[in-house]
Amino acid sequence: MITHLRHIDLAVPDLARQQDFFTNAWGLSTEHTDTGIAFLAAEGSPEQYVVRLREAADKRIDLIAFGVAAQSDVDTLAERLGVAGVTLVSEPAELKTPGGGYGFRFFDNEGRTVEISADVAVRHHRKIEEGEPVPVRLSHVVLNSANPEETRAFYETHLGFRLSDILMHPRMGEMMWFLRINAWHHSLAIARGPHPSLHHASFELRGIDEYMRGTGKLLRAGVEKIWGPGRHLAGNNTFSYFLDPHGNTVEYTTELELVDEDAWHPHLYDFSDPAVSDQWGTANAMDEFVARKSFNDPDRGLFLAPPV
């Protein structure tokens, strides 16, 4: 029923600094603003915005938004979640955010706010040109979870996500689950972590050349790189991970795998094999210091709905 990932909304203590990073360094554009809020679009995406920033005392994930095909799907999903005992933050109604539409919000099993919407107006967007190092779209979001098995089950059972692949380690067991809602290998992934938080948000670039140009531009600008450039085995996508001014991990990627639903069988990959983390062998080693960066700060916004 869910068709795609729309946007991720982040609360940050220093809005001006975060907005400057995402526009001048990362390559998004400010599409709409309001008091203490900025809506940032990807030039190649029809979504009204892919990141919403809100100034707040505490850093947190405000919301993750997904799209469905029609208003009837919004109503059906809201009813199903309500019957299943999931806490609705808001009932289906007209949305007041840019592009309008029709949607509702609810808390997932760990208290994150999730929005489902339909009929949001399409933004005027453009084809990204050859050599242009700016994001085309929001590719995927990865969440840290203190109870990842339960979180995976929530998204599969209630929202129809499907398992693509699993990362495991001989000593630590299963560590990351890649979940899809369309042909892309994953729009969401769940990582085992010490607390609920954002692991990373990933943005797709036009191709390999644009991905490398974007990575280089950020390095020249002095943005802290924590891992990459390289190419993962699960999803077969490239990766370069950086830290934003508030310590959130953000990723440049491209060439995420498209899955054949009729033929695909999930893999169990052992990421103690360096080729699983990075097929190219060009990235710095994945170790506890790199991993700790993406644990992020505990999300204090659990079971607290953000302002509309």
Cα gap 134→73, rounded to integer Å: 33
Which pair of tokens denotes residue 17? 């600094």
Q: What is the mean pLDDT of the chain?
A: 97
- Residue 235: is its pLDDT beyond 90? yes
Cα gap 65→68, rounded to integer Å: 10
User: What letter does residue 26 receive in the DSSP assignment?
Assistant: S
Distance set, CA 160 to CA 129, 152, 155, 180 (Å)? 35, 11, 7, 9
181 band by pLDDT with thresholds 50, 70 and 90: very high
Cα gap 297→59, rounded to integer Å: 8
How large is the greatest C-alpha to C-alpha distance in the chain, in angstroms?
A: 52
- Contact call for residues 142 and 193 (beta carbons, < 8 A): no
Cα gap 167→173, rounded to integer Å: 9
Cα gap 308→302, rounded to integer Å: 16
Which of 185, 207, 189, 209 lies closest to 199, judged by CA? Answer: 189
Non-local CB neighbours of 104 within 8 Å, separated by 6+ positions: 74, 78, 88, 89, 90, 91, 92, 93, 115, 116
Q: What is the pLDDT of residues 246-257, one digit of tens each?
A: 999 999 999 999
Which of 7, 13, 14 lies closest to 40, judged by CA? Answer: 7
- Contact call for residues 183 and 258 (beta carbons, < 8 A): yes
- Contact call for residues 104 and 115 (beta carbons, < 8 A): yes
Q: What is the pLDDT of residues 77-125, one digit of tens each?
A: 999 999 999 999 999 999 999 999 999 999 999 999 999 999 999 999 9
200-212 average pLDDT score: 98
Which of 27, 20, 16 lies closest to 50, judged by CA? Answer: 27
- Contact call for residues 235 and 177 (beta carbons, < 8 A): no
Which of 90, 214, 234, 222 lies closest to 166, judged by CA? Answer: 234
What share of the chain in percent tops pLDDT 70?
100
Which pair of tokens denotes residue 26? 């990362």
Cα gap 86→72, rounded to integer Å: 19
139 band by pLDDT with thresholds 50, 70 and 90: very high
Which pair of tokens denotes residue 70? 């029609």
Q: What is the pLDDT of residues 54-76, one digit of tens each?
A: 999 999 999 999 999 999 999 99
Which of 147, 184, 192, 145 lies closest to 166, judged by CA? Answer: 192
What string of DSSP letters covers 10-40?
Answer: EEES-HHHHHHIIIIIS--EEEEEETTEEEE
287 band by pLDDT with thresholds 50, 70 and 90: confident
User: What letter does residue 233 receive in the DSSP assignment?
Assistant: S
- Residue 27: is its pLDDT beyond 90? yes
